Structure 1
Amino acid sequence: MKRTQSGMTLIAFIIVLGVVGLFAYVGMKLIPMYSEYYSVKQALKGLQAEPGIANRDPGKIQDLFFRRLYISYAENVKPENVKIKRIDRGWQMDVDYEVRKPIIGNLDVVGKFSASENLLNQGAGGE
């Protein structure tokens, strides 16, 4: 009686290992991009909860926003990516930015991120 072996060959194992390694490498490039986007969203939410934010001037609002991002080590958002415009009872803050990370050779991964928040006075001291 002859027994046949089953399983992966060494070549197949190396190929699978390479594919898994490639996905892990791309993941290491993508996770910080999305982590930074989460920090931007959290900074906007924090600004929205700030008392009297609708009565502040846009320069002060932008300064508060970038202070919050500095704490989170977010470095891809620049002042030119932030737009603040007047709405009925406060301000609307839009953050649109792009992150480009090199992968292999001339291949890059590009993330385009957009976040927006209405900055209105909250609570009893609001209007």
Structure 2
Amino acid sequence: MRHNVIYKQRGVSLSGLLLWSVVLIFVAILGMKLLPVYREYAAIKTTLVLMANDPVLQNSTKAEIRKSFNRQAQIDDISVVHGGDIQINKENGQAVLSIIYSVKTPLFANISLYFDFNVSSDK
């Protein structure tokens, strides 16, 4: 005796596989474009905080602070900002360093991503 039981087909169809592949590739490309931008942001933030807390630089001139940032930027592979972009203020005897900058990174074809950053040593 044979029963007429209809089994449901399970699994991903070819069109479903292609759709998920396109989505996964798009997310991977987006991640590869965003990662360097945020890695550089983190390096700038770390450099500013370390410089603001450095007791040697507390009594330095603005030119010396900018020169020190340029040296550290070469080590950390920071290329979007330079020492001349730093705003230097004194608050309660503590140096507060800040930089406002923008980054435009191409995504594909004529589509780009634009980022605005406001990095400060006190935030």
**Among residues 84, 96, 102, which one is paired with 1:92 in the alignment?**
96
Q: Secondary structure at the match of 1:52?
A: helix
CA contact (8 A) 2:98 2:119 kept: yes
Gaps of 5+ in 2: none
1:79/1:44 CA distance change after superposition, 3 Å: closer
**Among residues 63, 67, 75, which one is paired with 2:71 in the alignment?**
67
The structure with the larger Rg is 2
Gaps of 5+ in 1: 119-127
1:47 is aligned to: 51
Give the alignment's TM-score, normalised by structure 2.
Answer: 0.85
CA distance in structure 1 between the partners assigned to 2:92 and 2:113 by the alignment: 39
CA distance in structure 2 between the partners assigned to 1:113 and 1:97 by the alignment: 5
Aligned residues: 118
Identical pairs, percent: 25
Q: Secondary structure at the match of 2:101?
A: strand
CA RMSD between the two structures:
1.7
1:6 is aligned to: 10
Matches within 5 A, 1:75-90: 75-90=79-94
CA contact (8 A) 2:69 2:83 kept: no
CA distance in structure 1 between the partners assigned to 2:55 and 2:20 by the alignment: 54
**Among residues 30, 33, 45, which one is paired with 1:29 in the alignment?**
33
CA distance in structure 2 between the partners assigned to 1:23 and 1:111 by the alignment: 18
CA contact (8 A) 1:83 1:94 kept: yes
- Higher relative contact order (CA closer than 8 Å, sequence separation 6+): 1
CA distance in structure 2 between the partners assigned to 1:12 and 1:76 by the alignment: 41
